[in-house]
Structures are given as C-alpha cells and as structure tokens.
Amino acid sequence: MSPGADGRFAHGKVILLGEHAVVHGHLALAAAIDRGVRAAARPADADRLHVTPWGVEVAADPDAEDPLSRAFAAVLETLPGGRPPLRVDARVELPGGAGLGCSAALGVAILAAATDAVGAPAGPAALAERSLAWERVFHGNPSGVDNATAAFGGVLAFRRGEAPTPIAPGRPLDLVVAHGGTASSTKAMVAGVAARLAAEPQAMGARLAHLGALAERGRGLLEDGDLRALGGVLDEAQGGLEAIGVGAPRLAALCRVARRAGAVGAKLTGAGGGGCIVALTDGPEAARAVADALAAGDPGEGADGAPAEAFTARVGA
C-alpha cells in the first residue's frame, strides 16, 4: 500500500501456495503484483463511491441490495466519528472474479484514501485488519490473506489470525499469470470447500492439511531460491486443489500449456473454478516464452487450450 500523488495504491496478488487451506488455519504464501487499485478521497456533500473503468457510482448504504454499497458503508463505518462525508474515486486495474485479489485491493485502497482524507492515516496492519469488513460482504469468510497482501505488498507468509511475515525470496520469481476467461465467485468456492469438509471431515481435512504442508515446504524453497523444486511443489498443489474440488478443465489445460512451454511449475491461483493460473519460470526470457505460448493457445488441448490473456510479473526482486 503506497501513497502517491494520485491517491493510494493497493496491490493485486497471486497465491503461490495454500489457498483454501488458509481459510482453515493452514499456511499460505502470497505475492503482490504491481497491478492493483488506486483510490483518492475528498470531503463532499454525501458519501459516494465512483469506480472506473466500471462506470459505477454508489452511495454507502448498509441495507442496500447492492453489495458494493454495503461494503462501502462497512468500510466507512471503521472511520473515526464526526468525519465529513467523503467522495471516493477508485481506479481498478484488475479483472474481478479472477483470483487476483481485486475486491481486497479495492477495499484496502478505498479505506486508505478515506483514512487520509479524514486526517487519520492508517498503516498496513490496520488497513489489512479494518478492510476485512469490506471483504466479508463479498467473500463471507475471508482468511485475510488477500487484504494483507493488498496492504503490505511483497511476498508474504500468512496464517489466519496472525501478523503476516514478509519473505525475502532467494531469487526473484518470474511468474506468468493467465486468465482462463471465466470469472468465479470466491464466496461460492470457499462455501463449497466448507460444505465438503463438513460432509467428509477426515478426508477433506487431510487434503487441506496437505495443501498447507506444501506451503510450508514452498516457503523454505522460496527462501533458498530453489525455483525448480518450488515449481514441483506448485504442480503438486495443483493436484491437491483439484482433489478438494476447486479445479477446472480449462485451468488444468492452461497449466499443461505453461509447463510444455518451459514453466517449472503451474497451478490455479485464488479460489479456482474459473479465474487464473500462475506459472513459475526460471527467468524473464522463459516467462516471456510461457506468456506467449498461453496467449497463442494450444489446439492440442481442444477448446480448453484456447488463447488466454497472459502477463508476466516479477516479484521479490
């Protein structure tokens, strides 16, 4: 989360390891990307939120049907009393429902801009915590990993209810993110995992623990800069995520395309079901080649291998 001439910026993110497991108390590793949300706020006649490029404008209303209006009210509720009404302008650079932390970045950027505008600026820890009021409206039961990554940036080890730990990767990570083209609802995906856990607690509990253990293993490999081994852990996590029911044929196909093009590992990132994959490569040139292959598509994979929107991201440099 950084101040800027043009308001406050909050990061989008990719989850490297541990999504869904983190909701149930296990470790996750997340990396901030340099796409996110920028927001600015100023005193006005009434509380209003304008979001571009969506062309959306809402009032703050805790009883509204529109979740954006309720979430805006929830975040303003965390401000000190006696404040002036605020107009907040937010600019979103991330696709929604893609697993890239769009909603958390929006909540964190709006809260940061609003705290500035009322003369009570909040630091990353407070922003991550207080913006959960926003995230609960959209995601029901958020672990907090998206909000923490949006607020702190960098690469984080995160466990629910604990302060995030910044990680210094032994080598920069050259990642490729590719969007399968369909959105998914984090709320529905998280609720689906919870329902399966309730139905078969032992098997699902073990699968979630395995995903958490992969995040623990990945943390050491990340710190050591052992990208090849880390890639293998990402591949294993993709299998683990499919086993808890959040995979999708399109995402699995994109992972295969990325691996064939030279990625050292690939998995879905975020809630799954739709949205994005993240592929790990061993350098910027390899990342470019993998992004090009994903953008070109692979007819050998049928419809699931159709061209995907892909971009490279270097983290931990």
The contact set with ligand MEV (CB under 6 A) reads 15, 19-20, 22-23, 99, 139, 142-143, 145-146, 186, 190, 270-271
Query: 145 or 175, CB closer to ligand MEV?
Result: 145
Please answer whether residues 110 and 40 qualify as being in contact, where contact means their C-beta atoms are separated by less than 8 angstroms: no
Provide the 10 A C-beta neighbour count for residue 183.
16
- Give the residue from 83, 90, 186 showing the smallest Cα distance to 137: 186
Query: 112 or 211, CB closer to ligand MEV?
Result: 211
Query: 101 or 265, CB closer to ligand MEV?
Result: 101
* Least distance to ligand MEV, CB of residue 145, Å: 5
Which residue's CB comes closest to ligand MEV? Answer: 143
Question: For every residue of 189-212, which 3-state class applies, written as one string?
Answer: HHHHHHHHHHHCHHHHHHHHHHHH
* Least distance to ligand MEV, CB of residue 261, Å: 25
Structure tokens at 202: 């032992």
Q: Give kind and range of the element (H or E) at residue 248.
A: none
* Least distance to ligand MEV, CB of residue 154, Å: 17
Query: 90 or 193, CB closer to ligand MEV?
Result: 193
Q: Where are the alpha helices (DSSP H) in the chain?
A: 67-76, 102-117, 124-130, 132-139, 145-152, 186-199, 201-224, 227-243, 249-260, 284-296
C-alpha–C-alpha distance, residues 205 and 24, integer Å: 9
Query: 258 or 268, CB closer to ligand MEV?
Result: 268
* Least distance to ligand MEV, CB of residue 292, Å: 27
* Least distance to ligand MEV, CB of residue 231, Å: 21
